[in-house]
Structure 1
């Protein structure tokens, strides 16, 4: 059963817009993110035909710098706003993909709870879990939706969520489902998404493209 009272009526779209987080536009406009960091068919013209890009597999992880991954992943992007933000962002990389120790603990605790190895699951799964565990409030709302084979977003009912938590949720849903729920323009907007949330989203993009090996990058 839908949580929208006006579901199936002419007012459904208006109700969904009213319930969305402030400042986020409907997904019919803007530059979409899936075209840029997905391995298959992405703008980086990756030639891989599996779920994981072999960019890291062909080289030792310690030979690859963080900014090399950013360049490879977003090299064909047309958004100057995002390019400028990425340039500032990569210069501040300290060798840690997680936002903080609490984020890291939530992420690995869930992997342990599900009894799954990070090397045995798809990059999309890793990236989605990475985003959902990035925010404490979001994780409390989403924890029960995690399944060994995916995520049931219909079970996540957003309440008391702020704009940054909403951005994390929308990006996680975009990565998991392959449908567009957030745009590059929104991610690039410093007034809409703060630096901490931006870090989580960009790192999730890298995980989606390169898999769990990204966690080995330290420079």
Structure 2
């Protein structure tokens, strides 16, 4: 006869059974045979659950992986598209650099009246230039918004305009209510616009021209070092590259205005 406290009475023999189905699964726990029992009760081909470790992909593109001859867009020994669709992969492999893209894009202007200044500005330049330390951080905020909300084909010229309009805090503050609608400028903003410096105004005009696909700044003006100084022209040239090639230009790095490599 089992007493009323039967569950408690049987606990030393069967564990904390208490009349329920929660009896311990392992009978040899805390014994030398515990490991063998656990192995016998494991299903065949069982893969233990991971401990949260991260598996890193160590694959890196090599120059031979991104040879144009292997591209589906390659036809009759020439590229079929205006802009290579695999620039990011080629940049990772090291076969595309800032200097390569800049030379390819500005080659048709080198022999013109603007060519001498382009050569001077791009000589030794190996990456995108930022106006100051805060420029890259300001651009990152707007480029994140752009990536999330704009999926169309006009994203490149919007990013190029943002690159110019976030160069200084004054430009960013003025452009914030206008930048994403590109453009026009509300009349109440003209007072702020007129308070910009000459170089900031040149950046504004270049950004407006890129966004509206209009000529808002002329070649003679770009050739005039008093109207457009070297740093401002660097930013404008980089913006044109971003407009043509896209955000991959930004991922080739930044120099903060300093240049150190072979002549252009």
State the TM-score, normalizing by the size of structure 1: 0.66
Could you say which residue in structure 1 is the equivalent of 2:114?
A: 82
Distance 1:79 1:191, change over 3 A: farther
Verify the 8 A CA contact 1:132 1:138 in the aligned structure 2.
yes
Structure 1 distance, partners of 2:88, 2:147, is 25
Q: Which runs of 5+ in 2 are unaligned?
A: 1-78, 254-260
Q: Give me the whole-angstrom Cα distance separating, in 2, the residues matched to 1:86 and 1:201.
A: 11
Task: Determine the structure 2 residue equivalent to 1:202.
Answer: 237
Residue in structure 1 matched with residue 199 of structure 2 by the alignment: 164
Q: Give per-residue Cα distances to partners, 1:62-90, cap 9 Å, x unaligned.
A: 32232222221122227644211221222
* Matched residues, number: 168
- Structure 1, 166-175 or 63-72: larger mean CA deviation: 63-72
Q: Does 1:153 align with 2:184?
A: yes
1:58 and 1:142, CA in 2 relative to 1: closer, same or farther beyond 3 A?
A: closer
User: Secondary structure in 2 aligned to 1:63?
Assistant: coil
**Distance in 2 (alpha carbons) for counterparts of 1:211 and 1:173:** 18
- Cα 1:95/1:74, change in 2 over 3 Å: closer
Larger Rg: 2
- Computed over aligned residues only, the root mean square deviation of the Cα atoms, in angstroms, reads 2.8
Q: CA deviation at 1:135?
A: 2.2
TM-score, with length taken from structure 2: 0.56
1:53-112 Cα distance to aligned partner (Å, 9 max, x none): 227639601322322222211222276442112212222425343222211111112234
Higher relative contact order (CA 8 A, sep 6+): 1
Evaluate the alpha carbon distance shift between residue 196 and residue 184 of structure 1 in structure 2; reply closer, same or farther with a 3 A threshold.
Answer: same
Tell me how far 1:119 sits from its aligned partner: 9.0
Closer, same or farther in 2 for the Cα pair 1:207/1:137, shift >3 Å? same
